[in-house]
Chain A
Amino acid sequence: MSDRIDVRKTYKLYVGGAFPRSESGYTYEVTDAKGAFVANAALASRKDARDAVVAARKAFGPWSGRTAYNRAQVLYRVAEVLEDRRPQFVQAVVQSEGLSASKAERVVDESVDRLVWYAGWADKITQVVGGANPVAGPFFNLTTPEATGVVAVLAPERSSLLGLVTAIAPVVVTGNTAVVVSSYSRPLAAVTLAEVLATSDVPGGVVNVLTGSAATLGPWLASHMDVNALDLLGTAGQTELARDLEVAAADNLKRVRRAPAAEPDFTREPGLDTMTDFLELKTVWHPMGV
């Protein structure tokens, strides 16, 4: 057994439902927590980021136009497939985060549960966040949340699965599409999640996963005029980068979710703000008469 030579993997990007290599042709070595080689990952370039935005934009209309019930079903299906592939994710977390197997199992469980939690929000957030407004006049007036559009997500650097899921799920469950820059040093869970997404019912382009550096890709995404929002979660602790990206994001007034000073504890149940930060409120008036 031990004589067998491993088939070493070279992971690819996940863009528009396909798995392309990086346009640049570059890859980088991914190591485990102890520094041993694990695999090669594609090193996404600015052009990959651009392609991912195009894919995400194309997917936005149809995805946001689906019924909330359907998006809930799709997300729940992701949770199912993730649960199916539990051992693979446990291994990825063990390798990337250096956790014990039992701790990694808890992380995977938590990640599946997190997906289930967010899936359920798809058809409830509108009722919790929206509402009827009793204007002083003969008008029917209703406020409803709508997806912002294409959201660039800089995923957490350390929490490679639970943090990733907690970053992506609230963005897409409400109808946004995402361009995700995974953890640079810990991309294994992200590329495995991409395989899960590809084999579940998530339409191509809804989630696009780029492995690479947030410092390199971030500025291109932050200044991209067809990106509507930016989650800076992955810049936690990097105040200068975070500020520069926020400045660039002002070019088209992206909605920016700032990073906390340090990467948060993702085992805590997230707040509604993880979803509402990437929602717009639309208020529709109509007269009432005969």
Chain B
Amino acid sequence: MTPSSPFDYAPAPESRAVVDIKATYGLFVGGEFVDGHGTPFKTVDPATEEVLAEVAEASDADVDAAVKAARKAHERVWGRMPGRERAKYLYRIARIIQERSRELAVLETIDNGKPIKESRDVDVPTVAAHFFYYAGWADKLEHAGYGTTPLGVAGQVIPWNFPLLMLAWKVAPALACGNTVVLKPAETTPLTALLFAEICQQADLPAGVVNIVTGAGATGQALVAHPGVDKVAFTGSTAVGKAIARTVAGTSKKVTLELGGKAANIVFDDAPVDQAVEGIVTGIFFNQGHVCCAGSRLLVQESIAEEVLDRLRERMSTLRLGDPLDKNTDIGAINSAAQLARIRELADIGEQEVSGERWSPACELPERGFWFPPTVFTGVTQAHRIAREEIFGPVLSVLTFRTPSEAVEKANNTPFGLSAGIWSEKGSRILEIASRLRAGVVWANTFNKFDPTSPFGGYQESGYGREGGRHGLAAYLEGGQR
């Protein structure tokens, strides 16, 4: 996808030598790696379809054992440990993550398919930062406003799009508040969570404080439904989020749900156009569009729509798709065959229903692996499925608007409410539009920025509860929300 150039970028692959992938992996329960009793499953490199490892599936009994281990650790050790001591364990973990950052980044890229530059420059540094941030809260909870009483055992289920980062978002605040955790990583991306288990050992974290059970939906369901779990934290699809909400109904379990989105990225005619184009690209093509808060609906003011689209196409033509381990790759592999099928299906529906154009830059897809080119649909309206349903892939729907009110109405015309973007050079307009958008995160003149201090989470069907910042503590303390 590089334009013809006097110097085509030569391959610049990051070395795989830094990671040591085992042939088989067990569960991490009570501080030890143990066998699972379900049916083991394989995790593959989505860029090559090569099988990376066989991973144990946690049965109901395994989940039970993990919850019991977590309960024991909570009651005997972690829940009664002074905050400043818990803090030091979390600081240790943060440091080890920094020290092993290259290894974590490469493993994440191999198991997930995301470009190494993203795992190296975004995911892993943010993971370390998250542990550092919450480490510091562990001995300051009395100042946070939610009391100091932990909930107990947290059952946490995370998705495949940011495997290690989502782990950090879940584990760091839970541990800081004195809870113990049983975490289930996604079945297509379990490897960095299992490496994190090793890091817990390396940090001498007391046994049972962190337990990791691998498996698919059934394992997650067993965990969420387990009566010994006091807190459920889930990131993933809205459909599963609703099922979890039903599962915990009538119990005393607290829940946070971080679910899907269909964010509007609104570009006004006075936008800083070059940065807006970057923001559109970052918004939808970062991490192959496997981002719940992706700016998947571009709302561009009619008067500059053509200009913005011209620039966007030109910019997209410089995106480099291919080997995720190549340091110059911008667009990596789609995480799984199933996700690729889902993206293709919705894109095909888009092609049939939309009167506008389906466009991708000239782009050679590798023969093996799961790939989808960055794609833009123009002429989309709110009535189209590709403007309503979360595609979770590198597919942008372009809609236009004429007035600020129309932009807000269209942006809010969705059951989701996770994020939104605004591009304008007029301060008062930004503040007004930001206040009228029904979304938990509003990026004005930027997009897809994350920080441990900044709470993240949605309105409406994008879920409830916040992760990150002081507010993220509320989910793990008795004095917190719901």
Binding site for B on A (CB under 8 A): 128, 131, 133-137, 139, 141, 143, 146, 148, 228, 239, 242-244, 246-247, 249-253, 255-258, 273, 276-277, 280-287
Q: In this complex, what residue of B is CB-closest to A251?
A: B242
Cβ A277 vs Cβ B481 within 8 A? yes
**In the complex the two chains form, what is the Cα distance from A146 to B455 in whole Å?**
14
The 0/1 profile, CB within 8 Å of A marked 1, for residues 187-207 of chain B is 000000000000000000000
List residues of chain B with CB within 8 A of the CB of A134: 453
Cβ B482 vs Cβ A247 within 8 A? no
List residues of chain B with CB within 8 A of the CB of A247: 246, 249-250
Q: In this complex, what residue of A is CB-closest to B431?
A: A284
Binds A, one of B26-34, B352-360, B464-472: B464-472
The 0/1 profile, CB within 8 Å of A marked 1, for residues 295-322 of chain B is 0000000000000000000000000000
List residues of chain A with CB within 8 A of the CB of B479: 273
Q: In this complex, what residue of A is CB-closest to B434?
A: A284
Given A250-B249, A253-B461, A285 and B441 contact (CB-CB distance below 8 Å): yes
Cβ B449 vs Cβ A285 within 8 A? yes
Contact of A253 among B238, B449, B456 (CB under 8 A): B238
B460 within 8 A of A: yes
**In the complex the two chains form, what is the Cα distance from A253 to B470 in whole Å?**
24
**In the complex the two chains form, what is the Cα distance from A256 to B246 in whole Å?**
11
Binding site for A on B (CB under 8 A): 129, 145, 238, 241-243, 245-246, 249-250, 252, 257, 259, 415, 417, 430, 434-435, 439-446, 449, 451, 453-457, 459-461, 463-464, 466, 469-471, 479, 481-482
List residues of chain A with CB within 8 A of the CB of B415: 252
List residues of chain A with CB within 8 A of the CB of B259: 253
List residues of chain B with CB within 8 A of the CB of A250: 242-243, 245-246, 249
**In the complex the two chains form, what is the Cα distance from A137 to B252 in whole Å?**
39
Given A143-B469, A283-B441, A285-B442, A252 and B461 contact (CB-CB distance below 8 Å): yes
Contact of B446 among A148, A228, A255, A287 (CB under 8 A): A287
Cβ B455 vs Cβ A283 within 8 A? yes
Given A285-B442, A286-B444, A135 and B250 contact (CB-CB distance below 8 Å): no
Closest 8 CB pairs of A and B: A243-B250, A246-B249, A250-B245, A135-B451, A133-B453, A247-B249, A286-B444, A133-B454
**In the complex the two chains form, what is the Cα distance from A128 to B145 in whole Å?**
9
Given A131-B470, A282-B440, A283-B454, A255 and B464 contact (CB-CB distance below 8 Å): yes
CB distance from B271 to the nearest CB of A (A): 13
List residues of chain B with CB within 8 A of the CB of A239: 250
**In the complex the two chains form, what is the Cα distance from A148 to B466 in whole Å?**
14
**In the complex the two chains form, what is the Cα distance from A157 to B459 in whole Å?**
30
Contact of A141 among B241, B454, B481 (CB under 8 A): B454
CB distance from B408 to the nearest CB of A (A): 11
List residues of chain B with CB within 8 A of the CB of A139: 446, 449
List residues of chain B with CB within 8 A of the CB of A273: 479, 481-482
Cβ B482 vs Cβ A256 within 8 A? yes
**In the complex the two chains form, what is the Cα distance from A33 to B257 in whole Å?**
44
List residues of chain B with CB within 8 A of the CB of A256: 249, 482
Contact of B444 among A135, A242, A285 (CB under 8 A): A285
Q: In this complex, what residue of B is CB-closest to A131?
A: B470
Given A253-B460, A281-B471, A133 and B449 contact (CB-CB distance below 8 Å): no
CB distance from A147 to the nearest CB of B (A): 10
List residues of chain A with CB within 8 A of the CB of B257: 253
